[in-house]
Structure 1
Amino acid sequence: MIQTLDGMFAKSSNTARQAAIGALMNTRMTGRSVRDHCLKMMAHISTAEVMGAKLEQEMKIDMILESLPNSFSQFKMNYNMNKLKLTPVELMHELESAERSLGKQESAYHAESSSKPKGKPKGGKKNKKQKEIGPAVKPAAMKKPKGKCFKCGQKGH
């Protein structure tokens, strides 16, 4: 009777373990924070282990890293080049730090790209005034006098 029960429940635990590993392998980070994603991945890992999966530490880390979007490619490269050995919780903290610096870079990029382009107009087109008058050269009398520096208060910068 014990063998019969064991046989019946062994099939369901295999199915549950396979489902947990499938969820672990198919989970990808979407728009939420990296902390939420790591916690979700660790929950999948824990479920798979409870169901009998034997996952080594390196495999857990590799699965978490592979589930991250391309915006973390620099982090992954640094992790591999420096041959780091972290636990999933330590990895989560490092990823949070990387996410914060990615956010700063993104906001700096958006601020820079939203400003008007400087320099010549695209396509080599000239301004109408420049075509009619010629190059825009200011005579010395037209130059504005230099005022006080807003940082130090000195004149003539």
Structure 2
Amino acid sequence: MSEGSTVGAHVIKIMGYIQTLEKLGFPLKDELATDVILQSLPDSFNQFVLNFNMNEINKTPPQLLSMLRTAEINLKNVGPKPVLMVRKGKKKCKSVAKSKGDGKTKTDGKEALRPKKGIKKDGKCFHCGKNGHWKRNCPIHLQEVKKAKTSEASTSEASKEKA
């Protein structure tokens, strides 16, 4: 079938060929006849063929003809497919927010991260419970971490020497 011709005339022509095969002693089952009709359709009916096969619709050739006529009407109503145009280049479009004069202006990202009141210097340490420092700055905690690292290093070296 050529693109732009009516699907009705094409399917009736294919059904005539199928009837001629039956007269010659080579009858085709409805499923095979349906497949022959669907395979002879142009690319514009690809979506219809896909849906037909995915839903496993079992129709006789005359029923398929009526479905194809309906699909052809729907294809004509859709119109041409949209075309995506791509430009070559490095320039990117950036949207710029403009101030509307309401007194609110967008701030820089660095300003938004600054605390409003400042950081409290006097905090209670979760490790030793004393005021004036936090756990990450606690001298007792830092000594324990240092000892743990040295003991891990010595035990790993001893296990390597045994092996």
Q: Name the TM-score, length of structure 1 as normaliser.
A: 0.51
1:40 paired residue number: 13
2:58 paired residue number: 85
Please give the alpha-carbon distance, in whole angstroms, between the structure 1 residues aligned to 2:88 and 2:25: 64
Please give the alpha-carbon distance, in whole angstroms, between the structure 2 residues aligned to 1:108 and 1:67: 22
Q: How many pairs does the alignment contain?
A: 97
- Give a deviation string over 1:12-60, Cα, whole Å, max 9, x none: xxxxxxxxxxxxxxxxx11420000000000000011101102111000
Displacement after TM superposition at 1:123 (Å): 6.0
**In structure 2, the residue corresponding to 1:71 is in which secondary structure?**
helix
- Give a deviation string over 1:64-109, Cα, whole Å, max 9, x none: 000001111111110011110001011011011111111111x354
Which protein, 1 or 2, shows the higher relative CO under an 8 Å CA cutoff with sep ≥ 6? 1
Letter in structure 2 aligned against 1:86: K
1:95 aligns with 2:68: yes
User: Would you say the 8 A contact 2:7–2:72 is kept in 1?
Assistant: yes
| Aligned CA-pair RMSD | 3.0
Please give the alpha-carbon distance, in whole angstroms, between the structure 2 residues aligned to 1:67 and 1:38: 9
- 1:1-157 equivalent positions in 2, closer than 5 A: 29-31=1-3, 32-105=5-78, 107=79, 109=81
Please give the alpha-carbon distance, in whole angstroms, between the structure 1 residues aligned to 2:58 and 2:88: 52
Compare CA radii of gyration and give the structure with the larger one: 2
Query: Could you tell me the percent identity over the aligned residues?
Result: 38
Structure 1 unmatched runs, 5+: 1-28, 125-157
**In structure 1, the residue corresponding to 2:9 is in which secondary structure?**
helix
* 1:104–1:51 Cα change, 3 Å: same
Please give the alpha-carbon distance, in whole angstroms, between the structure 1 residues aligned to 2:7 and 2:72: 7
Structure 2 unmatched runs, 5+: 90-163
Please give the alpha-carbon distance, in whole angstroms, between the structure 2 residues aligned to 1:102 and 1:45: 27
Q: Name the TM-score, length of structure 2 as normaliser.
A: 0.49
